[in-house]
Structure 1
Amino acid sequence: MAKRLLPTLNRVLIEKIVPPSKTSGGILLPEKLNKLNSGKVVAVGPGARDRDGKLIPVSVKEGDTVLLPEYGGATVNLGEKEYHLYRDDDILGTLHD
């Protein structure tokens, strides 16, 4: 049975992007070459409420590639995969090609 996690409030579920350790030709790449801490947004919560009760939506959407802080987030294992749960305001930005 597959499990699906729907984040609450302003939380974002992210699958970290692991850079390749070698090229398609088989050349090993140094670890620090592609050390960008990024991930793909898998699911987002509905948002948090302000003091007046207005909903503040999450600033990212499913499918976005985001830049993550070096530390933080909660690790969540669902089946064979590992995900990370961050608050919307902990995400540093979105990455675009």
Structure 2
Amino acid sequence: MKLKPIGDRVVIQKAEAEKTTASGIVLPESAQEKPQYAEIVAISSDIENDEKKAGSLHVGDKVIYSQYSGTEVKLEDKEYIVVKYIDILAVVD
């Protein structure tokens, strides 16, 4: 099964939280900081066809998104988040 966003939506997949600190201390899941960055998995055709938005996002880009945005979806044992284009704050190089 494949997710295909519609409207001004983008499908992203969260990056995994750090399980150890830089000094090697293992963190329990409750103490792990939830990352606000993710990788783009799919982009709606409305965004790709919009002159102002086209080219700003690409599948595979690492992005930072608004903390409380989007809808979480679990599909084939993977978790995704469907967010609006406006909720993507930056592309990480």
Residue 19 of structure 1 deviates from its aligned partner by 2.4
Q: Which of structures 1 and 2 has the bigger CA Rg?
A: 1
* Equivalent residue letter for 2:70: G
What is the 5 A alignment of 1:1-97? 3-22=1-20, 27-29=25-27, 31-32=32-33, 36-47=35-46, 55-56=50-51, 57-58=53-54, 59-96=56-93
Q: Under a length normalisation based on structure 1, what TM-score does the superposition of the two structures give? A: 0.74
Aligned equivalents of 2:39, 2:14: Cα separation in 1? 6
Aligned equivalents of 2:73, 2:42: Cα separation in 1? 13
Q: Secondary structure at the match of 1:13?
A: strand
Q: Secondary structure at the match of 1:72?
A: coil
Q: Under a length normalisation based on structure 2, what TM-score does the superposition of the two structures give? A: 0.77
Identity of aligned residues (%): 31
Q: Secondary structure at the match of 1:89?
A: helix
Q: Which structure 2 residue ranges, 5 or more long, are not aligned?
A: none
Q: Secondary structure at the match of 1:92?
A: strand
Aligned equivalents of 2:65, 2:36: Cα separation in 1? 6
Residue 20 of structure 1 deviates from its aligned partner by 2.3
Q: Is the 8 A contact 2:14 2:35 kept in 1?
A: no
Calculate the aligned-residue CA RMSD, in Å: 2.4
Aligned equivalents of 1:19, 1:38: Cα separation in 2? 10
More helix by proportion, 1 or 2?
A: 2
Q: Secondary structure at the match of 1:47?
A: helix
Q: Which structure 1 residue ranges, 5 or more long, are not aligned?
A: 49-53
